[in-house]
Amino acid sequence: MGLDLLTLDMDAVRAELVGGKTTATALAEQHYARIAAEDGPEGPQNPAAKGINSFLALSRERALAQAERVDAAVAKGDPLGPLAGVPIGIKDVLTMTGSPATAGSAILKGYMPPYDATSVAKLEAAGAVLLGKLNCDEFAMGSSNENSAYGPVKNPRALDRVPGGSSGGSAAAVAAGFAVATLGTDTGGSIRQPAAFCGVVGVLPTYGRISRFGLIAFASSLDRVGPFTRTVKDAATMLEVLAGPDGRDATASDRPVDGYVAALEKPVAGLKVGVPAEYFGEGLDEEIRAAIERVLDGLRAAGCVVKPVSLPHTKYAVPTYYVIATAEASSNLSRFDGVRFGLRAQEANTLSAMYRKTRDEGFGAEVKRRILLGTYALSAGYYDAYYRKAQQVRTLLTRDFLAAFEEVDVIVSPVTPTPAFKLGEKTDDPVKMYLEDIYSVAASLAGICGASIPCGETTKGLPIGVQVMGKHFDEATMLRVGAAIEALKL
């Protein structure tokens, strides 16, 4: 019998390699075979295909070259990196030489970046085998992965439902057994929400904990790179590899990187767990509410002190986020003009016409909507009323968390108000789609860390995730609590 790719974790990969039961090359080929069989659309030659559509491009040559290097190290008995031989996928908003970087947009179709993102380079230096690039909402703008120019991604746990967004391809690839781990990005919930919808672990690191160099920007003060994995320990391993300073990113912190894996061994007894009433109000699915209550009961039984906290400005988080994020998107996406890279409209007689036509042809509807909203918020006469005011409210939201963290070590809440919804269910109502971020955007605005941990299923078999939020740069405590939740086996 071969390895079970749906449950394979990093410890198992290392044991199989060191024990001589498989090779990194064979493991990569096994994952590529599964991708070929299930990721594409069903057809006469591929009756088992599920049309998940998680991968946009495969980097077979680069992956197999790395696998050969790992196999040679194993044969010689050389020390192995923490990710040696682990098949990993990369969200297509991160640059990776030899593979296109489209950000899920037609405007970057065929663009081949000349350098690796720092996070990509760190993974490969740790021994990871990089399988390819993963589908996502265009420029990471979306909560369902239905905004990609290259088609929507399906949820492997329920093919008629969305995997979440914008990192839907990254979450789906882990859930479907196409990769042991993946990289995603989170601007307002784009790691945590897909992780919850697909039943995997997803980590939002503190802003500045992981370099953003090589990340195609959506909103620079909010964008963060983070991992998807099957276990909390795997997430801790990824975070140890990815975290740290970077001379090419002025926002990357030079704070020492904690031993996240070692921290998982510490008991959680005595930790104070905050429960914000503002996250348990009207609109929360009752099965999710019940699942979070079971988590809290389990943490109490493990010796944690569970107590209420208040985050009074939570109700302003979604509108604040969508002013700041769209304003920054308006600025960042102005570089896509048909001159420097990507698509260029052919039938344009003047420079301004080329700009207009290139953007009209290259950007999708959601990206255009957010550019318009952001440009309006930054325009003369409206800057103070919208953008400046939103930044002031952002400060209030951050102070809410700082005050709460004076009383507790972590905060536990839902990740999403509902389980994964059906494909096409909310595409015609942007406001409903934006409200999917109601429990995730506040942590993004405050810059704190957060994680989505699987904590059960609905009666229909849809995954449920619980959100654990931690203090700035205290991923170690956050992951300790996440591991305790995982151990409950809900």
Q: Which of 414, 406, 416, 394 is nearest to 472 (CA)?
A: 406
How many angstroms separate the CA atoms of 409 and 272, rounded? 5
| Tokens linked to 275 | 């429960």
In three state form, how does the secondary structure of the chain look? CCCCCCCCCHHHHHHHHHCCCCCHHHHHHHHHHHHHHHCCCCECCECCCCCCCCEEEECHHHHHHHHHHHHHHHHHCCCCCCCCCCEEEEECCECCCCCCCCCCCHHHCCCCCCCCCHHHHHHHHCCCEEEEEECCCHHHCCCCCCCCCCCCCCECCECCECCCCCCHHHHHHHHCCCCCEEEEEECCCCCHHHHHHHCCEEEECCCCCECCCCECCCCCCCCEEEEEECCHHHHHHHHHHHECCCCCCCCCCCCCCCCHHHHCCCCCCCCEEEEEHHHCCCCCCHHHHHHHHHHHHHHHHCCCEEEEECCCCHHHHHHHHHHHHHHHHHHHHHHCCCCCCCCCCCCCCCHHHHHHHHHHHHCCHHHHHHHHHHHHHHCCCCCHHHHHHHHHHHHHHHHHHHHHCCCCCEEEEECCCCCCCECCCCCCCHHHHHHHHCCCHHHHHHCCEEEEEEEEECCCCCEEEEEEEECCCCHHHHHHHHHHHHHCCC
Q: How many CA atoms lie within 13 A of 43 on its CB side?
A: 7
CA distance 277 to 261: 31
State the catalytic residues.
91, 166, 190
* Cα 392 from Cα 388, distance rounded (Å): 6
Q: How far apart, in whole angstroms, are the C-alpha atoms of residue 439 and residue 318?
A: 9
